Amino acid sequence: MKICIYGAGAIGGFLGAYLARAGHEVSLIARGAQLEALRSKGLTLIHGEDKFTTYPDCAEDARQIGPTDAVFVTVKGPALPSVGDGIGPLLGSDTAIVFAMNGLPWWYDYGREGQTTGAAALLDPTESLRRVVGAERAIGCVVDCPARVAEPGLIVSNRASKGKFTIGEPDGSISQRIIALSNVLDEAGLDGPVVEDIRRAIWTKLVVNLSRSPLAVLTGAEESKLSDDPDITAMAREMITEAAAVAAAHGIPLELDWPALLETKYRTVHRPSMLQDWDAQRPMEIDAIGVIVSRFAAEAGLETPTINRVLAMLKMKAREVGLY
């Protein structure tokens, strides 16, 4: 299969390395030092005890690649407008676009019953994704494979378990294209389960990100240290409870595994992706992970005081250095 990874960061590099090793025609959209390293020395992944290098095609401009069978968009939320502006040359008549990203997606309302939300206006502010991609092409994806860019061209994941990419159609159907993508992921040595309710999977991951990433940025602490502090853990519990109430208001009741969400023994020494962005002074996924939940709560007449206070501090911190 001809596959493009749009965004060759930690997750994009992890995914691209496995797909390339499996023999697929993989290309990566990258830029800067990462692009230079990929071109000069290939893409190296260290995953647990496994280490290997692949040599996929790399480009900064999608016009150098042309139409593909599938695109995995693995950029961070703030980069989405640039994706809409640049992804067009990759799209053939049947190209599937998998949005493998944190937070609630810009296509949230597509195929969903109920009142229209402001997701697209907040997360696709220039309308470039709606105009160029179209929500009907979108496939949702929840990623579970903690990884980081150790240096340009080198991706590291200390957790030895399989990288998991849960995928689903926004309308809940089990389509031929999603079965094909699941098979591609599985055959590459990844875990690619298909779910009918991808929004539930997205909300389930969101409560994890929301209760850890902003607090990690505000404190500078990695995940296991956050859970060691009882006051921080209490705040995390409040944020999860508030977000779960918002999900329920959208008809998505969540089954919360509190020990797995809060206890130290389920954490790793991992700096969440939002904290990695702060470390590198890159724009963070504040809107897709936090602001959208606060807005959904207001639309539903719900109060989210802890989420709102944490977001206020996070946004101020980011604004002070020009990251929000």
By annotation, the residues acting in catalysis are 205
What angle (nearest 5°) sits at the alpha carbon of residue 11, between those of residues 10 and 17?
90
Strand ordering across the sheet containing 25-29: 57-59, 25-29, 2-6, 68-73, 91-100, 138-144, 164-168
| Residue located via tokens 């995953």 | 47
Spatial distance between the Cα atoms of 204 and 218, rounded to a whole number of angstroms: 23
3-state SS assignment for residue 223: helix
**Radius of gyration over every alpha carbon of the chain, rounded to an integer in angstroms:** 19
Secondary structure element (H or E) that encloses residue 29, with its range: strand 25-29
Q: Where are the alpha helices (DSSP H) in the chain?
A: 10-21, 32-41, 80-86, 119-123, 128, 176-187, 198-219, 223-228, 230-249, 258-262, 273-279, 286, 292-299, 305-320
Spatial distance between the Cα atoms of 13 and 202, rounded to a whole number of angstroms: 21
In this structure, are residues 75 and 62 in contact, taking their beta carbons and an 8 Å threshold? Answer: no
3-state SS assignment for residue 101: coil
Spatial distance between the Cα atoms of 314 and 218, rounded to a whole number of angstroms: 7
